[in-house]
Amino acid sequence: MTAHAVSDDQLARTLGLASNSITDDLERQVLRPDGSVNHDSGLDVDLDPDLVRSLYRDMVVVRRLDQEAFHLQRQGQLGLWLSCRGQEAAQVGSARATQDRDWIFPAYREHGVGVVRGVTPAELLSQWRGCSHGGWDPAKYRMHINSLVLGTQTLHATGYAMGVQADGADEVVIVYVGDGATSQGDVNEALNWAAVTGVPLVFFCQNNQWAISTRVDTQTARPLYHRAAAFGLDSICVDGNDVLAVHAATSAMFERVRAGGAPGFIEARTYRMAGHSTSDDPTRYRDDEEMKTWESRDPLERVRMLLDNNGWSDPAWLAEVETESDQIAAETRAACLSLPEPQLEDSFDHTYVEPTVALRQERAGYVTYQESFQ
């Protein structure tokens, strides 16, 4: 594939892409917080009731799994958890726009993307319980394992997309990145290299407003999608709490990139409702008023209102969704408790391919120390 093999300028105007320009700051929104539809979003939106219902179901399930995992961490069953609460629309909407043959490179908070791809609760929780370095087989789901080193997955995705380009394969790669990671050198190198080589890659930035305790407006003087456009990527900004806008924008971007267009960048403006992780106390750096503002923009509630306003749901169907969320919560808890409790001595066995003398001595010393308590 080569960059701009199709008429990107025309497509960019149709999609409302920045197209290497920083002349505006336009956040595209289809579904308003009150559940009403904006028909002037500039996006080609599918308001099919079946699609809306399935997106809502996915988001409900993801939120319930995330909530259960949070509780499991608080009960000592997980070593750490990074909640995706509030970001369900960004994750479900974008993941549902991919095709089975496409490859996904997550960061570490994309539990909703994993659910859409079919990753099981046990596989999602394994790493956070300390049972594995990565809980699932990447080849099975065409989804790479989590990357906890900030921004490194963007380089991995760019390299993989270069392979796709060389093979002439009909695949598009999507990589998830947070607003904070865009300040990393690795991410900027990946953006530049992807643009220069014209690989079939879409960067999906979940701008959740906070890089741990650092506000996004202290990291950049320009909107993030403008910065991506400056590198040469076609970029667009959407309301990340609007699953219909996210799905439409990602679908259009994938279609354009798959047809041979330049790599793309989507900035989805959303909000992290919980702390950065279960080790973080967000009340130390953000106030209640900010939380209330974003709670009023909840991604699930606006879809629920759209369904109710249009008669696309009924009590029986909503009860089914609630039952399914109860089932995923029970499955998540059972899956977590079925995972073996990690043993610290096992970590010595997986540090190097061939253990060093010093490592063997450290392991023996630790085992002797443990045995002294028996």
Taking the C-alpha atoms of residue 51 and residue 248, their distance in angstroms, rounded to an integer, is 12
Residue from 142, 285, 286, 366 carrying the catalytic annotation: 285
Q: Which of 183, 198, 177 shows the shortest CA–CA distance to 108?
A: 177
Q: Which amino acid is at 374?
A: Q
Q: Which residue do the tokens 């450290």 mark?
A: 362
Residue 303 contacts residue 52 (beta carbons within 8 Å) = yes
Give me the sign of the Cα torsion angle 51, 57, 63, 66. Answer: negative
Sign of the CA dihedral running 266, 267, 269, 274: positive
Q: Which of 269, 276, 302, 363 is catalytic?
A: 276
CA distance 199 to 162: 6
Tokens representing residue 70 in the block: 């949070």
Distance separating alpha carbons of residues 332 and 69, to the nearest angstrom: 7
Which of 272, 302, 304, 363 is labelled catalytic?
272
CA angle (109, 213, 127) in 5-degree steps: 25
3-state secondary structure of 117: helix
- Catalytic site residue 276? yes
Measured CA to CA in angstroms, residue 132 lies from 79, 145, 340 at distances of 12, 11, 10
**Rg (the chain; Cα; Å):** 21
In sequence order, what are the residues at sequence separation of 6 or more whose Cβ sits closer than 8 angstroms to the Cβ of residue 237?
18, 25, 26, 27, 28, 223, 224, 225, 266, 267, 268, 269
**Residue 272 among the catalytic residues:** yes
Catalytic-residue membership of 53: no
Distance of CA 37 to the CA centre of its chain: 25
> What's the chain's length in residues?
374
Could you give the residue numbers annotated as active site?
A: 272, 276, 285
